Structure 1
Amino acid sequence: MTTYVIRRVLGIVPVLLGVAFMVFAINRIVPSNPAVAILGDKGTPEAQAQLAEDLGLNKPIFFDLESFRRTGRVGALFDSQYFKYMGELLTLNLGRSFMTRAPVADTLKIRFPATMELAVFAILIGGVLGLVLGVVAALRRGTWVDTGMLFIAVSGVSFPVFWTAIVLIYVFSVQLGWFPPAGRLNVTTTLQPITGHFVIDSLLRGQFRLFLEALHHLVLPAFALGTHAMALIMRMTRSSMLDVLRRDYVRTAASKGVWPATVVMKHAFRNALVPIVTVLGLSFGSLLSGAILIEAIFNWPGVGSWIFNAIT
């Protein structure tokens, strides 16, 4: 098992290097001058040249062959944009934001806990609801209950998350007023962060009212983000449960008079969880990447809304 885990972890390294190379290559393929884009039309040629010098844009893209031939030093060969980019990336030197002039790593450190908190609660809501509804659908196969669950699953996969988010805000915030439409806390509330996860920070500071307030703000965005995962988990749970319920050991346990709930939970559900756990892991990764629109709609101050604001 240890060898397998090490092999899988080491297998991530070339993938990350490949992704970093693709990001670098795409940025260089785009036919534009970053210095001009940053300074705008009002930037003087001298200012553009100085900025290009500061950013290392005047260096060769991959290898500095001219410096290598001139000096004969191997290190001069790697004095290029790509190796400067990789060196700064490996040391977590992500540069500064051109909008706020703040270090990108510091901003990421502040915003990432908000996105992680949202994704964790989304997978909790989606996972619990998906498991429960999937088991119910499998036990009521062929009935109107099963049909209703399948309709929910298909709807969760088919409807885009931004549409689901807008509907939830309109119904539960605008019409019913049950949940706040935006933010992590009320406008008048302040919480000094410790970990950046407001649910955890409120408990660490012993402020149970803020804990409930943070949970209250999490419900709508987490549910909207978790609907797609809920639908996938529901369908996987139903399919896996139906497969396990046909097995001989489940039928034998039922024929011996074992309590039906014990048959379902101990013999069927436990063995049906194996493929579902894989889906949970994959769903969590997609939630982190799919949080951009949800954070923008709910004004959630995470990495997703940061990316959205940078694009727009």
Structure 2
Amino acid sequence: MRLRLFWLAIAALYVAPVTAGLYGAGWLAVAGFAVLFALFNLAMERIPPQPLLALASLAVVAGLAIVLVSAGWGLRALTGFATTLPAWPWLALGLGATALARLVWPPRLTREMGALIDDATEQLETMAEELGRLDSEVPSTTLDDEAADRMNAALDALPPDAGPEPVAAVVLPLTDQASPGALFDAALARARNTPCPRDHAALHWAAVNDDAIDLCTGHRQLALAWAQFVEADDHPALDRFAGATIRIIHDDPHAWRDMPESGEIIRVALAIEPANPALGEELAGLGKAMIALERSADV
């Protein structure tokens, strides 16, 4: 309500000189409204204390008085309005509007509201800084991190020589809770740190589950898993991996691009064959399948 009355007073203050001009007030009315506008600025404490700025403020209100009274003169000429009244009723209206504005919205209220706004702004800035500090101090935990932590805890509970079946029961349910890339990275890190059957089985399932295969677009996840199994000389892991990847590269038109090159597979097959002929033969079949796919891609 207070704000509405203030804007009503401002509207009356601007309408008064226009109406005075419309009713034929002369240049004395211009001077009167210039004084009235200066009085309004004085009452609302809007005149700067610096002399030059104060003079500029008075010049602005004098120009405003001329413009508004002239607008009334223009309306009088355009409409043919012939009624003439003295200027004092309109000056009285402006004076009353000034008094109303001062009453409902005193400068003290403006200062208090400004102080409240400044205090609120300062508090918000302080809160934002505090929240930023807390965010920087507390490490962020993502769903991927939580899923990787659950996988690590469950795998640690299994013996190092655990077979692929109990490991699959740990890893595969997590594929619905974490991104395939994050799960694979966590499994690869474990396999590199502790190259045992349990962690190689976890890397196998993280590399060949359906969600991971959907991302086979050149990220080389299958090649990284292969390299880990070869480096650790884990024949059972290579056997499982070869069987799974032969099916994968025949079924998926893009997955083979994540595999090691055919020459690398053939080299490993030849190195393993004297000690493990069955595995060497299986790896050789995988290498031949890769050769066919590489040739078809070059055509």
Bigger helix fraction: 2
Give me the TM-score of the superposition, normalised by structure 2: 0.19
- Which structure exhibits the higher relative contact order, with contacts defined as CA atoms closer than 8 Å and separated by 6 or more residues? 1
Q: Which structure would you say has the larger Rg?
A: 2
